[in-house]
Amino acid sequence: MKKLVLLFTVLIASISYSNAQEKGQFILGGSLLISTSSLDFSQSGETIYEEKSNAIRISPTVGLMVSDKTAVGLSLAYEKSNIEEGRDQSFESKNLAIFGFLRTHQKISERFTSYVEPYFGKEINLEDEDIKLPFQLGSNVGILYFLSPQLSLEATLLSLNYSTLVEKEDDTKLSVNEFTFGFLLDNPVIGLKYYF
């Protein structure tokens, strides 16, 4: 088995990576997020509050290299989450988001490429059209590692996001603005990209 792993490693290392990203290539990729959490607050052995949550997010991506360093594309994201509070209350949410992006690449070495990816998009609730979700604008910064000339593993290391929601009805106005900046070095967002 060790010899097989060594042989596979040598084969991967010997492949030429010079044509990994070229104008006209399509990009397929995406990411998958699965999370679960639980909270149990007790005092003197008696449960005061408990909460359990589960979520899954699937985000396929398609893009086109418009130059050797720049790609444009779309990303869809479907998320289903469930929150249980105590034994009596349960909330389920299904959301769909669509984002457009422009990704600029900068080659670091034969296999490593950095990227900056500004994006914009909107998320909608699939179950209740009265629930309004914000418009989002942001940018991600990360690194691609090419496993082969067409397949890369990506890690988003920095995320900048601004979201805004304004709702008006008669004389009532709701305005929500949120700005998020995060270094994701200890918890990067990992994905795969296939260039063809």
The helix or strand, by DSSP H or E, that contains position 139, with its residue range, turns out to be strand 135-146
Domain annotation covers residue 81:
yes
Closest CA to 116 of 156, 89, 176, 87: 156
The predicted-structure confidence for 150-174, as pLDDT tens digits, reads as follows 888 998 899 898 988 777 777 777 7
CA distances from 164 to 10, 13, 85, 134, 170 (A): 50, 46, 28, 5, 20
Domain coverage including residue 110: 18-195
Q: What's the structural domain count of the chain? A: 1
The CATH number linked to 163 is 2.40.160.20
Q: Is residue 133 part of a domain?
A: yes
For the stretch 79-92, pLDDT in tens is 998 888 777 777 78
pLDDT tens digits along 1-27:
555 555 455 444 444 444 457 888 899
